Amino acid sequence: MRRFLRGLGRFLGILLGLLVVAGVVGFFWLRGATLAQHDGRLALGGLSAPVEVLREPRGVVHIKAENTHDMFFALGVVHAQERLWQMEFQRRVGAGRLSEVLGKATLEQDKFLRTWGFYRSAERAYQGISPQAKAAVDAYVAGVNAYLATNPPLPLEFRLLGFRPEPWKSADVMVWAKMMAYDLSGNWRSELQRYAWAAQGMSPERMAQLRPPYPEDAPTVLQSEDLKLPPPAPGESQPARTLLALAHSLPNNLVLAGDDKARASNNWVISGSRTTTGKPLLANDPHLGLGVPSVWFLVDLEAPGYRAIGSSFPGLPAVVIGRNDRIGWGVTTVGADVQDLYILDQVSGGYRYQGGIEPFQTRTETIKVKGQPDVRITVRESRYGPVISDVVKSAGSKPLALRWTALDPEDKTIEAFLGLAEAKNWAEFKAALSHYNAPSQNFVYADVDGNIAYMAPGKFPIRKPGHSGLMPVPGDGNWDWQGYLPQEEWPQVYNPKEGFIVTANNKVTAPGYPHTISLEWEEPYRAERIRQMILAKDKLSPEDMIAMQKDLKSLLYDAFKPVLETLTPLSEAAGEWKAKLLAWDGVARPEQQEPSVFEAWYTELTRLPKKEVGQEFWEEPRYILSALKSNDPNCDQPETTFAESCADFAALALERALKRLGEPVPRWGDLHQATFKHPVLTNVAPLRRFVDRAVPHGGDRYTVNRGAYDPANFHMTVGSSYRQILDFSDLERSLYIHPMGQSGSPLSGDFANLLPLWQRGEYLAMKTQDYPVQSRQRLEPLR
């Protein structure tokens, strides 16, 4: 028996060794079969002259070309080399063509996207851009297609799903800009929310309590002294009675998707009069959904008369956030209300409009579904835009049509981003932004001459008095938009007296501004905290900028601390944790337990109005605070057997939080992990561990170093997708980073090599010269 076991052991050892060898061989074969070439020469049809592509050890790419056509061409090649699957997935999302490769699981999503008409809008937008912008787009597309024509190694996803990418088109470039506009514009959902509440008989006053307006004493981007416009004219009140009557056509079980408030960003720019360097400092960190691969790609573009370094979107031929040799910029989302829903009075032959009957425009969309017959849908469009009630399961008997600036036939936003890199001063920067449509962004600016500035560009609709944009209005012609704000009346300031500008999705305009940009803003906590840190020092250094971007101080904790102070614990454990929380400094460090208890308690508090609003968690902290102080009727929860006061509710919420956390209470970083998931492969169990990543992270939804999480499990889903610090005393000392890595292939060493740096709050040097080079590739014209 022993001899048999020894023999079996030797056999198993040999077998295991062979399996390891086979696995290693298989890994390197698959790696070679899916990763692009990074050195040597690559001959490509469509180039007019050689282009040098240099890669740093961390994967940052530098492109040096003899003309801008070849520069954008090479950018298309490089993006395809590193992010081909991401680009493919994005264009299929925009075109509503996911079901062709993923099957019926994405059919409803494709129906939604086809109805909205993103790809049709992208095709129209391309036709309207300038010849120079078309040349850049066409060169980029030619670069992608020239690379595909070399029969390159395809990423793993193509092999697993069994298809090859089609050649690229100009609309494939344009459509992803549309999808980003969609991702950053969610007013239509809040309009539906209020419409549904009205259908249930909720008063406008109660709506304002559940979704409180922006606090009057909270910071705005522009100060009153920055405004040089006449005072607002008096307007009519919201025609609430008419809207409430119309709302009764909606069902009471309206379901809304998405959490638009989770996506946010920070940027600030500080004048040299307030810095240790004597020149401006500019910081930016956009907060987007975390995923695999990163949304961004770091690149340096150089051609005669053109220089841009910063962060690009794979699929777009531009540096979206960054600098050139003289100026730099950063962006955050304005949250402008550029969407309206119109209630159509449908009759035989169409819908009523200005006393007549206007027919719907219809088209048939054919959706191919992998393994299934084709699906055909009929899409209706009105003069306002698509009839979204045909695909959004939230409408009653009357159709709802969407009016949205991003779907306008003319959209030259791509021209704005192409022009920013060529700007040498504020006047040229503003001229580039004059082409901007959507999504409206807070642009902060600085230059080497010491100037700082701000502008919020975009097509801001002018509504009739009485139309706030908060709820749908009748689509009979009486509430149509009256045009758009002229550029000279966009929110803007140049060298403000205060010496700095802060934007954190907070309200843009101060009292005195005569136009409505939006009535819905992000909570002011991040803006307040950034201002606190700026005003805490007479002079700020580049190191202070780093510390600010890493800041984990929660002003949410400060806001709820008075509730804790008056809370009567219901158990010994709750009493102990109350004492610990009151002694805590409110800095949500990943290695501490206190953030776990506070965030769990706060999450339990957000369940307060779930019966009234139909959502498990209600992310409106100022409503929660007001409700707890005013003994809101929602405090008496329907599942308990006794009448709860708001003090009871707060105490019970702490008990529920401690029960949910268990013993011992986990550290915040163990619960709150920044989670990066692949959009497709995360659903395949054997591959999930191979492609997804998760790392401990501090902060919460309202910290400057943002850590917005899913309240159901505390997984961090939204955070800093890119960090940038520009030092205008020496732009070569600027810094940047994004999470994950430059490559989209999980088999590449550059797939997640930036994640540890990002997690620790470290950066890469944003250099256009004297940088380390790991590989050189020469792109040459095909002879």
From the list 265, 294, 596, 748, the catalytic residue is 265
The upper half-sphere exposure of residue 446, i.e. CA atoms within 13 Å in the direction of its Cβ, equals: 27
Helix-, strand-, coil-residue percentages of the chain, each rounded to 5: 40, 20, 40
Q: Give the residues across from 443 on adjacent strands.
A: 331, 455
- Sheet of 350-353, strands arranged across: 346-347, 350-353, 356-358
Q: Which two tokens stand for residue 193?
A: 């929310």
The sign of the CA dihedral 648, 649, 655, 659 is: positive
Q: How far apart are CA 465 and CA 472, in angstroms?
A: 15
**457, containing H or E segment:** none
Rg (CA), the chain: 27
**Annotated binding residue 226:** no
Neighbouring CB atoms inside 10 A of 61's CB total 24
634 and 609 Cβ atoms separated by less than 8 Å: yes
pLDDT tens track for 94-125:
999 999 999 999 999 999 999 999 999 999 99
Residue 763 has pLDDT above 70, yes or no: yes
pLDDT tens track for 537-570:
999 999 999 999 999 999 999 999 999 999 999 9
Q: How far apart are CA 744 and CA 35, in angstroms?
A: 10
What is the band of 33 on the pLDDT scale with cuts at 50, 70, 90?
low
pLDDT tens track for 366-410:
999 999 999 999 999 999 999 999 998 654 679 999 999 999 999
Q: How far apart are CA 355 and CA 240, in angstroms?
A: 22
**59 phi-psi bin (left φ>0, alpha ψ -120 to 50, beta other):** left
Q: Which two tokens stand for residue 688?
A: 């999930």
Query: By C-alpha distance, which of 454, 442, 460 is closest to 406?
Result: 460
Query: By C-alpha distance, which of 708, 519, 705 is closest to 602?
Result: 708
What's the DSSP call for residue 681?
G
Instruction: Identify the CATH homologous superfamily for domain 555-671.
Output: Aminohydrolase, alpha-helical knob region (1.10.1400.10)
pLDDT for the residue numbered 397:
78
Q: Which two tokens stand for residue 611?
A: 């019966």
Highest mean pLDDT among 25-39, 484-498, 510-524: 484-498
What's the pTM? 0.93
Instruction: Give the residue with greater pLDDT, 243 vs 494.
Output: 494
pLDDT for the residue numbered 261:
56
* Phi and psi, residue 402, nearest 5°: -105, 130
pLDDT for the residue numbered 643:
84
Q: Which fold has domain 187-339+409-549?
A: Glutamine Phosphoribosylpyrophosphate, subunit 1, domain 1 (3.60.20)
pLDDT tens track for 655-665:
999 999 999 99
Q: Which two tokens stand for residue 582?
A: 């009151």
Q: How far apart are CA 777 and CA 570, in angstroms?
A: 67
In this prediction, residues 317-323 reach a mean pLDDT of: 99
Kindly tell me the burial class for residue 8, based on how many C-beta atoms sit within 10 Å of its own C-beta (0-12, 13-18, 19 or more). Answer: exposed
265 is catalytic: yes
Q: How far apart are CA 89 and CA 680, in angstroms?
A: 9
pLDDT for the residue numbered 760:
98
339 and 407 Cβ atoms separated by less than 8 Å: no
**Annotated binding residue 476:** no
The rounded mean pLDDT for the chain is: 92
Query: By C-alpha distance, which of 403, 434, 398 is closest to 418?
Result: 434
Q: Which two tokens stand for residue 12?
A: 């198993």
Over pLDDT 90: what percentage of the chain?
Answer: 86
**Annotated binding residue 576:** no
In this prediction, residues 145-154 reach a mean pLDDT of: 98
pLDDT for the residue numbered 8:
39
pLDDT for the residue numbered 9:
45
Q: Give the residues across from 282 on adjacent strands.
A: 269, 726
pLDDT for the residue numbered 263:
65
